[in-house]
Each structure stands twice: as structure tokens, then as C-alpha cells.
Amino acid sequence: MWRYDGGSVEGFYARMSKALIAKYGPLVSVDCKSHFPKFEIWFCYKDNIMRVYSGERTGHYDIHFLSLGYVGEGPRYARHFLAAAGFDLTVDEIESIRPGDSIVMRDGKAVIMRKNEKLVEGGEVTFLREETRLIEGASATYRYYKAPSKAAALDFLNKQNIIEQMFYVAVEAPDGRWVKDWMGIFDA
């Protein structure tokens, strides 16, 4: 874990960001899981292999006091942390982030992908429910759907744009259940 060592706080977060990149490779995405009062953010490095958590202290790869989608010091610190990783966003853009949103790179530019842009709904598949569960101390989101067949379930899952870790779309059909996460589709 990193500790503030004096000087500008913004500079501290920029140095921390550069140290994480040196250790884990480039930052590839940022997932905002929850908002005030319990901010939870996952920073995903080098092809989403390494994740660093910002939120309630866990003692394992923590970044504390970064708050996306909130007015105050957090977005200012987050802006410097992100800019040091090549994710240039304004404070206003950072304050606009809501739970379920992600930040990704598209054509060399940081883009906020809104929660509603990640899922494609409709067709033969119907929404059942959404649940949030704790997995190893972090929030995971599960969205459950029902399909009339395996073909309809897999077609639906193939259309989903899941880039966020700890986010799962599960589809039940008479002949099985399939789940998609950021790594792909699997039998459940």
C-alpha cells in the first residue's frame, strides 16, 4: 500500500498511478461499482489481469479516497491519478460517473461507458432480476434473464458488451444456464 509522504496530494496520486503502471502494466479500464457513501472502484491493469481496488480499506492493493461521480476532493485526486495513466478526463466528466459506469480507452481517448450502454436487451430473452453479492469483500453484480432455448440464450449473451469485472449476465433456458463476464461465456 502507498502512504501519503508529503507535498501536493494531487502529485501523490499521480506518483501512485505511475508506480502501479510500472508494476502491473498499462491501465486498461476503470469500473465504478458503488457511490456515496461507500465508493467502490476497480482499476484494471494490462488486459484486465490485475485489479486494484479503491474503497473501504481491505489491506490488499488499496487506493483510498478516490471517488468517481462525486463533487469534492475525490474527483480532483482521481483526475490526477487517471491522467498519469493516460486517461484524460475533466473533473466534470469524473463527477458525472455513476455506479455501473466504466472508463475505457477508445481510439487512444478515455471514454465513459455508461451502464445502460453495456447491455443489449430485448428479443426472446426476458429480464428476471439483479442482485449484488460480496465476493472476497468486493461487490459483484449479477443480472439474471430467461430464454426459451440455448440458441436464444447464447445469441443474447454474444450481443452483450461486458468490460467490467465483477459483473455477470446469466441466462437460464430449459436446457441449461450460461453466464457471460468480461472474459467470455461459460456454462454455469
**pLDDT tens digit sequence for 92-147:** 898 888 888 899 888 999 999 888 787 778 789 999 999 988 777 667 889 999 99
**Domain-terminating residue out of 71, 97, 116:** 116
Residue 42 counted as domain residue? yes
Q: What is the mean pLDDT of residues 158-162?
A: 87
DSSP one-letter code for 138: E
Number of C-beta neighbours around residue 105 at 10 A: 15
Query: Which tops the pLDDT comparison, 173 or 12?
Result: 173
Co-location of 82 and 165 in the same domain: no
Co-location of 139 and 174 in the same domain: yes
Co-location of 108 and 131 in the same domain: no
Whole-number pLDDT of residue 171 = 96
Calculate the average pLDDT of the chain. 82
Cell of 132: 449484488
**pLDDT tens digit sequence for 31-77:** 887 776 667 788 888 865 677 767 665 554 445 545 454 445 677 88
Co-location of 105 and 130 in the same domain: no
State yes or no: pLDDT of 1 exceeds 60.
Answer: no
Range of the domain at 140: 119-187
Confidence band for 3, pLDDT divided at 50, 70 and 90 = low
Whole-number pLDDT of residue 48 = 57
DSSP one-letter code for 26: -
Co-location of 31 and 112 in the same domain: yes
Co-location of 81 and 153 in the same domain: no
Residue 92 counted as domain residue? yes
Write out the E strands in 4-98.
Answer: 27-34, 40-45, 50-54, 62-63
Whole-number pLDDT of residue 37 = 63
Write out the E strands in 27-122.
Answer: 27-34, 40-45, 50-54, 62-63, 102-106, 109-113
**Domain-terminating residue out of 116, 149, 173:** 116
Co-location of 110 and 158 in the same domain: no
**pLDDT tens digit sequence for 5-38:** 778 888 888 988 998 899 889 998 898 877 766 6
Q: Measure the CA angle with vertex 141, ends 140 and 146; round to 5°.
A: 140
Residue 123 counted as domain residue? yes
**Domain-terminating residue out of 78, 97, 116:** 116
Task: Indicate the number of domains in the chain.
Answer: 2
